[in-house]
């Protein structure tokens, strides 16, 4: 079995592979930095929110929930998601991937606007044994979509846009090889 995690699920997959007998691990568009840093970066474009969000992030990073959430930040920090955020903030993906001893494939799209190629490189730095594949023209939904605002938005609601073919080739080749290596070690 090979564990595959996408986006935030990549971190969950990293932690899972430390606890189960897996043949390999695939990170698809997995962030390479701790969540608070990513959230701060995303909010830099909204300076009127960044300062208020930072105060909330400080509380959550300290393990404390807060009721002082401005209406414009409710979707991100509403009380119902704060326990999840607190637990998520304990982990740094680059440190977690370093603990994995099985084969690793990191796949990142060049037109992904949620997770950057730089994040993939952070993961690779965390575990030098990992294979890194940058898929040209693949977005966060793992679809072949150019870096164009309209087409990026449309890809989120158009199920007819297929997965990027290079993604399918890379992941299937890795999974087959990882499973074969595991079978050879068993015999």
| Predicted confidence (pLDDT) at residue 7 exceeds the cutoff of 90 | no
Taking residue 41's Cβ as centre, other Cβ atoms within 10 Å add up to 12
Asked if 43 and 35 touch (Cβ cutoff 8 Å), the reply is no
* Contact partners, residue 58, CB within 8 Å, separation at least 6: none
**Which tokens sit at 26?**
């695939």
Inter-CA distances, 62 with 34, 44, 56, 133, Å: 14, 22, 10, 35
The pair phi, psi for residue 105, each rounded to 5°, is -125, 125
**In whole numbers, what is the pLDDT of the chain averaged over residues?**
92
What's the fold here for domain 2-33+92-186?
Rossmann fold (3.40.50)
User: How distant, in Å, are the alpha carbons of 35, 41, 59, 66 from that of 52?
Assistant: 17, 14, 11, 12
Q: What is the pLDDT of residue 185?
A: 61
DSSP 164: P
Mean pLDDT, to the nearest integer, of 116-126? 96
Q: For the chain, which residues make up each domain, given as ranges?
A: 2-33+92-186, 35-88
pTM: predicted TM-score of the whole model, two decimal places? 0.87
On whether the CB atoms of residues 108 and 84 are closer than 8 A, the answer is no
Q: What tens digit of pLDDT does each residue of 166-186 get?
A: 999 999 999 999 888 766 665
To 10 degrees, what angle do helices 35-43 and 47-61 make? Answer: 160
Q: How far is CA 58 from CA 21, 46, 53, 85, 134, in A?
A: 36, 18, 9, 12, 33
The residue with tokens 């150019």 is 146
Q: What is the pLDDT at residue 186?
A: 58
d(CA 187, CA 182): 9
Backbone angles phi, psi at 108, to 5 degrees: -140, 135
């Amino acid at each position: 079995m090979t564990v595959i995690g996408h986006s935030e699920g990549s971190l969950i997959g990293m932690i899972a592979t430390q606890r189960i007998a897996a043949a390999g691990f695939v990170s698809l568009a997995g962030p390479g930095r701790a969540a608070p840093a990513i959230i701060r970066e995303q909010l830099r474009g909204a300076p009127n929110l960044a300062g208020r969000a930072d105060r909330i992030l400080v509380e959550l990073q300290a393990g404390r929930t807060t009721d002082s959430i401005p209406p414009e930040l409710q979707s991100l920090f509403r009380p119902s998601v704060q326990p999840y955020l607190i637990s998520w903030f304990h982990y740094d993906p680059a440190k977690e991937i370093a603990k994995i001893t099985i084969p690793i494939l990191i796949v990142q799209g060049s037109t992904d606007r949620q997770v950057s190629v730089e994040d993939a490189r952070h993961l690779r730095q965390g575990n030098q044994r990992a294979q890194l594949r940058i898929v040209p023209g693949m977005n966060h939904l793992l679809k072949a979509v150019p870096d164009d605002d309209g087409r990026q938005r449309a890809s989120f609601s158009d199920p007819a846009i297929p997965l990027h073919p290079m993604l399918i080739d890379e992941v299937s080749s890795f999974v087959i090889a990882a499973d074969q290596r595991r079978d050879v070690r068993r015999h």
